[in-house]
A and B are shown apart, each in its own frame.
Chain A
């Protein structure tokens, strides 16, 4: 009892020590594991592999990056990855808005709880199961084409294609967009929307001139999720993408597991890091972090 008292008194007298005690463990984790792993990645990306023995050769060599830049297929894969990540992000912003708006501004307490649960439930079930479900839906003899034929429409050829990846990624990460957008819509004081209407702005003008700019931090937070999660994925391209639908992650995966060229995999994995850095800089420029 006395020890407890002494400890809390000590913490009160020296707030710096109290903070250090609280943050020590997370800081250790962050520095020791998180930053160290990225550091190891960066360092390894400059290593090479002996062609014959397969042994790692430490050192500083730009061979991996030169090879990446010189081979058109890697450029194509990088553009495909970033392009689909961007398309998924835009799609999810567009899909998230009506849901977030209805959840916060239209629904009553009960309906809001139901909607919140409906948004979250998919997150509690297996990622693999959900991707496989989409595989079944989009396959050539799948649910989608069966339904199209039933109503007399021609088959769609979107199974095992970039379209399939776009649809499945948009579905997978949608909750990560809805939740931050809903949170930022909730933070807009209702009186601001009334003021806009009072000043003569119709519904859409109020959305464009008040809600959209004020919810920007939420959209950026959601976009960080949808963009980076798509950027780093390799399972969905494997399951619903076709031949020639590889992502950066698939190249990394095959270089680690199949060809055992870890330095080359590391060099390619540096690219998403760079893309995310640029993404975050643009977000900051847009003022998305002003509210933090």
Chain B
């Protein structure tokens, strides 16, 4: 892999990459419906690894297989090189942060967090001391005696995190943990998660359908579609060199012309018949829609030869007289030839 060449998005490049979780030909069906068909995947120690995809794509099934809540129909699941496919969850050195948090409602926060330590026969006093420390690490030291019902969604989320991490798992599995939070809190928790991961060095495997979340947090991302992995790579790889039309479309906004991908922000909008520099390609059309979004303006252009293109322009220059274009204007869409990417051109589909 040439992960390190562009120097973006990876922290693993500098470290020795040692596989911690490996899936080999893992398949899973639920009563005839294929959830996962022969998936291969390698996650390295210390990585923040994201499983990204729409609902029903197999990402959550993959996580549940690693946790041990499901058993694969075929294939091997290796944790630290040992096949754990036949082991129950309580014998695997992984812990899960559940989508609904799954806090025990009849136990206090400190009892919730100490649950895993107590299950491993740690004396109560010691387990509670560690649990309180873990609660302090997520800013909930003063809430130790409360029950989960007395907390807000964001607080419950942090308890779930503390309850999993206090066990020092080899791998922490997170199943859309921020899905129930509002946008502001979600951004705050994203940073919090990233910080915790950096400080502890625990490998995170993170399931989400939110591409922004995936791009902003992950060292590497596996994009799932219909029970298969479309591409594994850094945020940069997925966005700039998508392995398939699905990835190109799912990650970010895109214009797809045949097998060529054009990202809307790399396009320019100029008045019709305006001169276009050497090395640029162009298409003529008329503006169908203009949406002003503050930092950027998005234009939908109906092309003369059929189809539409989306153009995003940064609002860098103060526009005194309002927007440059209005619906109905004849325009030319232009882009440097280097901006067009052949989809699947640099193949890194599946696992390296």
The answer to whether A and B belong to the same complex is: yes
Verify A191–B115 contact, CB threshold 8 A. no
For residue B96, CB closer than 8 A to chain A, the reply is yes
Checking B90, B100, B104 against A200 with a beta-carbon cut-off of 8 angstroms, the contacting residue is B90
Verify B100–A189 contact, CB threshold 8 A. yes
Which of A195-238 touch B at CB < 8 Å? 195-202, 205, 209-210, 213-214
The distance in angstroms between the C-alpha atoms of A197 and B92, with both chains bound, is 10
The distance in angstroms between the C-alpha atoms of A214 and B103, with both chains bound, is 12
Task: Tell me how far the C-beta of B169 lies from the nearest C-beta in chain A, rounded to whole angstroms.
Answer: 9
The distance in angstroms between the C-alpha atoms of A198 and B69, with both chains bound, is 8
Verify A195–B106 contact, CB threshold 8 A. no
Verify A195–B119 contact, CB threshold 8 A. no
For residue A192, CB closer than 8 A to chain B, the reply is yes
Verify A205–B119 contact, CB threshold 8 A. yes
Q: Does more than half of chain B's interface fall in helix, strand or loop, or is it mixed?
A: loop
| B105 partner residues in chain A, CB cutoff 8 A | 214
The distance in angstroms between the C-alpha atoms of A195 and B102, with both chains bound, is 6
Once A198-B67, A199-B115, A200-B90 are accepted as A-B contacts, the answer to whether A191 and B104 lie under 8 Å apart by CB is no
Once A191-B100, A194-B89 are accepted as A-B contacts, the answer to whether A199 and B116 lie under 8 Å apart by CB is yes
Of chain A, the residue at the smallest CB distance from B111 is A209
Verify A199–B95 contact, CB threshold 8 A. yes
| A199 partner residues in chain B, CB cutoff 8 A | 90, 95, 115-116, 119, 163-164, 167
Task: Tell me how far the C-beta of B121 lies from the nearest C-beta in chain A, rounded to whole angstroms.
Answer: 9
For residue B143, CB closer than 8 A to chain A, the reply is no
Verify B106–A197 contact, CB threshold 8 A. no
Number of A residues contacting the other chain (C-beta, 8 Å)? 17
The distance in angstroms between the C-alpha atoms of A66 and B257, with both chains bound, is 99
Verify A200–B167 contact, CB threshold 8 A. yes
The distance in angstroms between the C-alpha atoms of A205 and B163, with both chains bound, is 17
Once A191-B98, A205-B119 are accepted as A-B contacts, the answer to whether A197 and B104 lie under 8 Å apart by CB is no
Verify A214–B90 contact, CB threshold 8 A. no
The distance in angstroms between the C-alpha atoms of A194 and B68, with both chains bound, is 9
| A192 partner residues in chain B, CB cutoff 8 A | 102, 104
The distance in angstroms between the C-alpha atoms of A199 and B115, with both chains bound, is 7
Per-residue CB contact flags for chain A residues 253-271 toward chain B (1 = under 8 Å, else 0) read: 0000000000000000000
Of chain B, the residue at the smallest CB distance from A287 is B106
Verify B119–A201 contact, CB threshold 8 A. yes
The distance in angstroms between the C-alpha atoms of A134 and B88, with both chains bound, is 44
Verify A210–B119 contact, CB threshold 8 A. no
Of chain B, the residue at the smallest CB distance from A214 is B106
Verify B106–A198 contact, CB threshold 8 A. no
Of chain A, the residue at the smallest CB distance from B94 is A198
For residue B120, CB closer than 8 A to chain A, the reply is yes
Of chain B, the residue at the smallest CB distance from A199 is B116
Once A199-B115, A199-B167, A213-B106 are accepted as A-B contacts, the answer to whether A194 and B90 lie under 8 Å apart by CB is no
Task: Tell me how far the C-beta of A189 lies from the nearest C-beta in chain B, rounded to whole angstroms.
Answer: 7
The distance in angstroms between the C-alpha atoms of A202 and B68, with both chains bound, is 13
What 18 additional pairs, Cβ within 8 angstroms, besides A195-B98, A198-B89? A189-B100, A189-B102, A191-B99, A192-B102, A194-B102, A197-B90, A198-B90, A198-B94, A199-B90, A199-B115, A199-B167, A200-B90, A200-B116, A200-B167, A201-B115, A201-B119, A205-B119, A210-B104
